[in-house]
C-alpha cells in the first residue's frame, strides 16, 4: 500500500482551534480532525494545505509554520500527516466536505473523538 502525504491546517483564533467532523460516508467518518487533504503531484505541502482548505472550507489561509507529523496506517489507508499552523486571511467558513465543525480550546479536545493521527498531534499543542 502506497504511503500518501496529507497536509492539515491547525487554524487558531482567540486561543481556540478549528476542528471538523469527517463526513459519515468517508473512511473514519464521524471522527473529528484538523482539516486538510492529499498532496497532488508537483505540489508542496504548504500549497496542498492552502488548496485543500479552500476546497473544503471556502476560506483563504496563510501557512505560518509546521507543527509536526504523524504516520497512520490501517487496512484502507497509509498516510503521512503533516500539520501546519495557519491563519485565516479571508472568506467565511462553509463546510463543503464535513458534517460539523467547532472552535474549541485545548481543554475541550477531550470532549471530541478524533481520527487516528490527529489525536496524537494534540499532545504537541
pLDDT higher than 90, residue 44: yes
Cα dihedral across residues 54, 57, 63, 69: positive or negative: negative
Mean pLDDT taken over the chain? 96
Q: Are 116 and 72 in contact (CB under 8 A)?
A: yes
Q: Which three cell numbers stand for residue 89?
A: 486571511
- CA dist 100 to 18, 32, 42, 61, Å? 11, 9, 31, 20
Q: Tell me the residue range of the domain where 53 lies.
A: 4-124
Give tens-digit pLDDT for 45-70. 999 999 999 999 999 999 999 999 99
Q: What is the CATH number of the domain that holds 84?
A: 3.90.79.10
pLDDT band at 116 (very low <50, low <70, confident <90, very high): confident
**Count: domains in the chain:** 1
* Residue 117: predicted pLDDT: 85
- CA dist 106 to 21, 103, 111, 124, Å? 17, 10, 10, 11
Give tens-digit pLDDT for 22-36. 999 999 999 999 999
Q: Is 14 left (phi over 0), alpha (psi -120 to 50) or beta?
A: left
Amino acid at each position: 500500500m502506497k504511503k500518501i502525504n496529507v497536509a492539515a491546517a491547525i487554524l487558531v483564533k482567540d486561543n481556540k482551534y478549528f476542528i471538523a467532523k469527517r463526513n459519515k460516508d468517508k473512511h473514519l467518518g464521524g471522527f473529528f480532525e484538523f482539516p486538510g487533504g492529499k498532496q497532488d503531484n508537483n505540489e508542496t505541502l504548504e500549497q496542498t494545505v492552502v488548496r485543500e482548505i479552500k476546497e473544503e472550507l471556502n476560506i483563504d489561509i496563510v501557512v505560518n509554520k509546521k507543527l509536526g507529523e504523524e504516520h497512520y496506517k490501517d487496512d484502507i489507508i497509509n498516510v503521512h500527516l503533516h500539520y501546519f499552523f495557519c491563519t485565516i486571511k479571508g472568506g467565511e467558513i462553509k463546510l463543503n466536505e464535513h458534517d460539523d465543525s467547532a472552535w474549541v480550546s485545548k481543554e475541550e479536545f477531550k470532549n471530541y473523538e478524533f481520527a487516528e493521527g490527529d489525536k496524537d498531534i494534540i499532545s504537541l499543542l
